[in-house]
Structure 1
Amino acid sequence: MKQGTLVTRIVMVVLFLAVAAYFLGSAWRDLDQRMYTVATYSYTVDDYVEATGLLVRREQVLTAETGGAIVDVLPAQGEKVGTGQAVAYLYQDASALERREQIQALELEREQLVYALQDEGSGLDSAQLEEEILQAMTQLRSSAVRGDLTRLEDQALTFKSLVLRQGYSVSGGTEAIQAMVEAIDAQRQALYAQSSQDTRTVWSPVSGVFSAEVDGYESTLVPDILDSLTPSGLDQLVRQRPEAPAGAVGKLIVSSEWYFAVALPADTAQRLVEGRTVRVRFSRDWSGEVEMTVERVGDPEDGRCIVVLSSTQDLAETSLLRSQTVEIVFQSTDGIRVPKRAVRTELRTETGADGQEVTRQATGVYTITGAQAEFKEVEILADDGDYYLVAAVLSDTPSDGEIKRAFRAGDEVIVSSEPLYDGKVILGYLH
């Protein structure tokens, strides 16, 4: 090998190592400076306290001598029930339950026949009837595919009635449908007569909102005790393990107003003012926020105060709840969420209205405008760990240009440990 060739190769290797070292050093320097941008977004910071308490309602338990009977509860959870309405059937044995299912099937069939009978006078011929059936089937299928259940029951009833009309039109039309209705009525009467021997009905004595959950607190945890309830008294109620009354088939919530009783640290409870409202966020057994009125803030007892909140909202949705851990929200602050490392405090020199230069301290962030850094002043509203919640700072009468240049959600803020200034060209930053 010639000496010149060896030297050339050595020089090439040295140059390669030098270039590689330069780029590695540059990359390390960029990482060390940690220059990158973050897209900002609107955010809400809540000032809240978490607490566990009990829901209090005026309730009436519905009981019956079940005696081993099969209980069939009729209303849905949270459904309104009127005075004298049937709330449950008690079947003596499985055959009684089967008979009731037969009655329900006959009632549904009768409903469809009556619906078809009412439409029989429309005067549709067989071709028009087939077209109506096709349209009804298409609408039914379309609703099912879209998941639109708002009119699904009516559409299904329409489709079935058209099919029934088509079937009975061949064997006598209106007369055949009427005869079938009369036959079904006769079957129903016979089944009802048999049911009277082995099926009992539980009727609602008052109107209210139905709940199938009976926990034994209905007779002790009543609104009347809330005026004298103390933190220790609430603790005792929480420790109780009451049993539901024998033969309970459900209960009725007979008042639209319900309460939430909770014991809070005294300094926290004093932040609440009787008569004012506060937001209570449920998230365990039911997810939702309820605007509640502060009914009572009790006297301190061992550093805690009893707090009673009331509401007439979401009664049906909360009808299953009793012991709940909630968030009581004192205040919510809306703003723009930015990393703390993006927020800077600088001295800014500006020209005042009188033409004089004024130097003042300003808090703000640098954003990317094109490929340049631009300082936008902000006000810190809340501390959220590694982030601040901020809002743009504007003059009392901002111009259109000032509003356009102001910091807003969606701006890309620069996070960097190196010095920044307005107009600095920012290339190769990381997202």
Structure 2
Amino acid sequence: MKPKKLLYRVFAFISPFLIIFYLIMQLSTRFSQGMSTEYVLKAEMEETIDASAYIMRNETLLYTQESGVFYNLGSEGQKGSARTPVVAVYTDSPELNIQDRIRSIEEKIKALEASSVDTSYMVADISSLDNSIYENILYIKKNLSAGKTLLALQKRSSLLTMMNKRQLMVKEVAGFEYQIQQLKTEKDTLYHSLVAQKDTVYASKSGYFSSQIDGYESVFAPSALETMTVGGFYDALNQKTSTQGVAGKIITDYIWYVLCPVSKENSYDFKEENEYNIVFPYSDSISLPGKLTKKIAESGQENLLLIFEMTSVPNDFDFTRAQSVQLQKATYKGYRIQKNAIRYVDGKEGVYILAGNTVRFRTIHRLYESGGYCIVIAITKDSEHYADSLHLHDTVLIGGKDLYDGKTIT
């Protein structure tokens, strides 16, 4: 082989490696001083404060003259009309076990009767059903892990119904008529074994039934807000009433209130009649809007009371009287950048960006900062400061030394 042809082939073989080596050296030179880049994107951040919250609702207590054990005839939060039986009073706890078994049987019967399927279903229907089963299992697992057993159990019947439907679809069973009849027979037998109830408690008004009694039903009634003071609120925390003879309660209004004691400093940004979002960690961190109807201040008190009116009542919401929440004071929208990218040049605050291989300084105006990031104003094109300001999709330089406007990075 001729020497020239041999050299050509050797060069052709090693040239890709030389190019890669060159690029690595270029990048190494560019970022040898711990410098990295980040694209400018639109974002928003919530400014929040942690607060203690106290739930206030119109709650009517239900009493019984009989002592014994209480059995709820309906589920927690179930809506009903006046004179609906809501609680049965028995002498002994074994009766509760029988009632629990009867309720379990009724749920199974209901699930089996709801498990019939259309014979014209398709494969896609099975796939959709499998997805629903999977989502229900995840929901139950999540709530059990969080210790929320009641929320997990509420999905039990729907999950059973879906699993039964799947059995019918894939021909694992022909039907559930025999099982339903067996369960009805067992239910009748259990009913006949029950001793007479000592008392039946009826709903005095239409509304939502709850068995969760804490002794603050009359203390933290919405009517108390008319004359409440800061000092009166703290006194009320020690004024629980007796729950003797109370079998449950009826919540009679969809409007409820959240009372939050906050420091004067944290109260400044909250304006009456404005709406704010409140995050409830006890209810999977759901965010609900509430209108600030009242700010209560009192001379000599360090804290103020913020009163929010709520009208949303989500399913499975946790109405524990006292709980922690986050109050969202404001929402800031603009460009998000890292705080450690900010520089000061000639008394101006800004960042260095990379335009091609040239460093440029762009001014910024901070709106809010949290967790190592800032939201800065997105300057519009019609502004006289647009040319010198940070733009969407700019490449911001983070770190690096000896940077200046116009520097070429090779």
Q: Same fold (TM over 0.5)?
A: yes
Q: Which amino acid aligns with 1:218?
A: E
- For residues 354-373 of structure 1, the aligned pairs below 5 Å read 363-369=349-355, 371-373=357-359
Query: What is the CA distance between 1:384 and its match in structure 2?
Result: 4.2
Distance 1:418-1:86 versus aligned 2 partners, 3 A rule: farther
- Report the Cα offset of residue 301 of structure 1: 1.9
Q: Is this contact kept in 2: 1:379–1:393, CA < 8 A? A: no
2:254 to 253, 256, 268: 256
Aligned twin of 2:408:
424
Give the letter for the 1:58 counterpart: N
| 2:279 aligns with one of 278, 281, 293 | 281
Q: How far apart are 1:254 and its partner, in Å? A: 1.2
Residue pair 2:292, 2:307 contacting (<8 A) in 1 also: yes
Q: Which amino acid aligns with 1:261?
A: L
**Relative to structure 1, is the Cα distance of residues 160 and 93 closer, same or farther in structure 2, using a 3 angstrom cutoff?**
farther
The CA deviation string for residues 237-292 of structure 1, in whole angstroms up to 9 with x for no partner, is: 23x16255124343222111111233444565454433222233333676233221
- 1:215 deviates by 0.8
Larger Rg: 1
The answer for the alignment partner of 1:332 in structure 2 is 331
Contact 1:140–1:152, Cα closer than 8 Å, also in 2: no
The aligned counterpart of 1:88 is 87
Q: CA RMSD in A?
A: 4.7
CA distance in 1, matches of 2:106, 2:252: 31
Q: Aligned residue for 2:59?
A: 59
Give 1:146's match in structure 2, choosing from 107, 129, 134: 134
| Structure 1 unaligned spans of 5+ | 1-26, 169-176, 348-360, 427-431
**Structure 1, residues 101-149: CA drift from partner, whole Å, max 9, x if none?**
5644665676688779x99xx9x9xxx9xxx9x9899779835763357
The 3-state SS of whatever aligns with 2:380 is coil
Contact 2:359/2:403 (8 A) holds in 1: no
Return the alpha-carbon distance in structure 2 between the equivalents of residues 370 and 227 of structure 1: 65
Shift of 1:50: 4.0
Partner secondary structure for residue 147 of structure 1: helix
**In 2, distance between residues paired with 1:277 and 1:144?**
35
Q: What does residue 380 of structure 1 align with?
A: 366
In 2 relative to 1, CA 342–100 (structure 1 residues): closer, same or farther, beyond 3 Å?
A: closer
Please list every run of 5 or more consecutive structure 2 residues that lacks an aligned counterpart in the other structure. Answer: 1-27, 138-154
Q: Is the alpha carbon distance of 1:325 and 1:408 closer, same or farther for their aligned partners in structure 2, counting shifts above 3 Å? A: same
Match runs of 1:74-85 below 5 Å: 74-85=73-84
Q: Which amino acid aligns with 2:52?
A: T
Match of 1:155 in 2: 162
Cα distance, 1:148–1:386 mapped onto 2, change above 3 Å: closer
Paired letter, 1:217: Y
Distance 1:103 1:386 in 2: 57
CA contact (8 A) 1:39 1:411 kept: yes
Tell me, what secondary structure is at the counterpart of 2:377? strand
Give the Å deviation of 1:294: 1.9
Which whole-Å CA distance do the structure 2 matches of 1:92 and 1:83 have between them? Answer: 26
TM-score (norm 1): 0.64
What SS does the corresponding residue of 2:226 show, helix, strand or coil? coil
1:280-359 to 2 correspondences below 5 Å: 280-283=278-281, 287-303=285-301, 304-314=303-313, 319-346=318-345
Q: Distance in 2 between matches of 1:362 and 1:389?
A: 17
Cα distance in 1 between the residues matched to 2:114 and 2:35: 72
% same residue: 19
Q: Conserved in 2, the CA contact under 8 Å of 1:63 and 1:248?
A: yes
2:326 & 2:166 partners in 1: Cα distance? 49
How far off its partner does 1:233 sit?
0.6
Aligned partners of 1:317 and 1:104: how far apart in 2? 20
**Conserved 8 A contact 2:260-2:307:** yes
1:73/1:419 CA distance change after superposition, 3 Å: same
Rate the CA distance shift 1:383–1:60 in 2: closer, same or farther, 3 A. Answer: same
- SS of residue in 2 equivalent to 1:155: helix
Q: Which amino acid aligns with 1:343?
A: I
**1:326 shift after superposition:** 3.4
Q: 1:34 to 1:59 in 2, by over 3 A?
A: same
CA 275–317 in structure 1, closer or farther in 2 if over 3 Å, else same? farther
How far residue 40 of structure 1 moved from its aligned partner, in angstroms, is 5.7
Instruction: Return the alpha-carbon distance in structure 1 between the equivalents of residues 48 and 403 of structure 2.
Output: 38
Q: 1:185-222, CA deviations, whole angstroms, 9 ceiling, x for partnerless residues?
A: 67755653443625754432322233332110112221
Structure 2 equivalent of residue 350 of structure 1: none
- In 2, Cα distance between the equivalents of 1:321 and 1:283? 11
Q: How many residue pairs get matched?
A: 358
